[in-house]
């Protein structure tokens, strides 16, 4: 398959495929994704109901967020370029009897066939792993229906973010596998907001969120100093 605009990184694909079998281990190397999932879901629900809405989960991984949205009544499609992760996600959904459509593809490849199809698009912890985040945002804007909702979470680019997500999380506390993140791919909230506005999206909110590793809990906060959410809406 030819990847549209090649907006993916083979090293990133291989890195996450290698973790596929451990994706659903709540105490494994990706336990943080399980711990922050309720907070991601809570943020989405601040702005829209999911029941009977067509939802696209971009960079779905093994389906942690995808499944909770489907359980809340969403009509969810999950996409990822990591084929082993898609297999894990599909198998887990079948085992738990949850109806989700999973596809191994980039978001750019959904165009133009699925233009204006989705009422909600989520793109969590993905933008810091792709070469061109503006391409992802542009594709999201085209796939959204009018008044549709778009949700991102990613990492700010500053010294505090580098220390927390690289030095502390990966090297000192071993909360994540070493090499999970590349600081050069982090984005200022203003950059993501500008990309959204360039695609005629209205930026509704930017909020930070923090993770408490000892409690294994996360919470939404005002200041987007390290991790942050961004909510946008199509015109």
78: enclosing H helix or E strand:
strand 75-80
For 139-175, write each residue's pLDDT tens digit: 999 999 999 999 999 999 999 999 999 999 999 999 9
% the chain with pLDDT above 90? 92
What topology does CATH give the domain 4-234? Rossmann fold (3.40.50)
For 105-117, write each residue's pLDDT tens digit: 999 999 999 999 9
For 213-232, write each residue's pLDDT tens digit: 999 999 999 999 999 999 99
Q: Please tell me the number of Cα atoms within 13 Å of 187 on its side-chain side.
A: 24
For 118-135, write each residue's pLDDT tens digit: 999 999 999 999 999 999
pLDDT at 3 over 80: no
Q: What is the DSSP letter of 192?
A: H
Which one is predicted more confidently, 2 or 33?
33
Q: Is 59 exposed, middle or buried (0-12, 13-18, 19+ CB in 10 A)?
A: buried
Q: What is the C-alpha to C-alpha distance for residues 153 and 81, in angstroms, rounded to an integer? A: 18
């Amino acid at each position: 398959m030819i990847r549209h605009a090649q907006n993916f990184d083979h090293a990133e694909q291989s890195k996450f495929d290698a973790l596929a079998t451990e994706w659903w281990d709540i105490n494994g190397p990706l336990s943080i994704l399980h711990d922050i999932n309720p907070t991601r879901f809570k943020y989405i629900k601040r702005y829209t109901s999911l029941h009977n809405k067509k939802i696209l989960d971009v960079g779905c991984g093994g389906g942690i967020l995808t499944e909770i949205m489907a359980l809340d009544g969403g009509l969810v499609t999950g996409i990822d370029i990591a084929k082993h992760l898609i297999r894990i996600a599909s198998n887990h959904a079948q085992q738990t009897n949850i109806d989700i459509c999973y596809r191994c593809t980039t978001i750019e490849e959904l165009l133009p066939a699925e233009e204006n199809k989705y009422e909600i698009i989520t793109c969590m912890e993905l933008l810091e792993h792709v070469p061109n985040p503006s391409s992802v945002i542009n594709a999201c804007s085209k796939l959204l229906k009018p008044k549709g909702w778009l949700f991102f979470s990613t990492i700010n680019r500053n010294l505090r973010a580098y220390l927390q997500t690289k030095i502390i999380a990966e090297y000192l506390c071993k909360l994540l596998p070493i090499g999970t993140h590349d600081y050069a791919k982090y984005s200022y909230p203003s950059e993501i907001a500008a990309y959204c506005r360039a695609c005629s999206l209205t930026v509704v909110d930017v909020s930070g969120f923090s993770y408490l590793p000892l409690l294994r809990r996360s919470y939404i906060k005002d200041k987007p100093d390290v991790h942050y959410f961004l909510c946008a809406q199509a015109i």
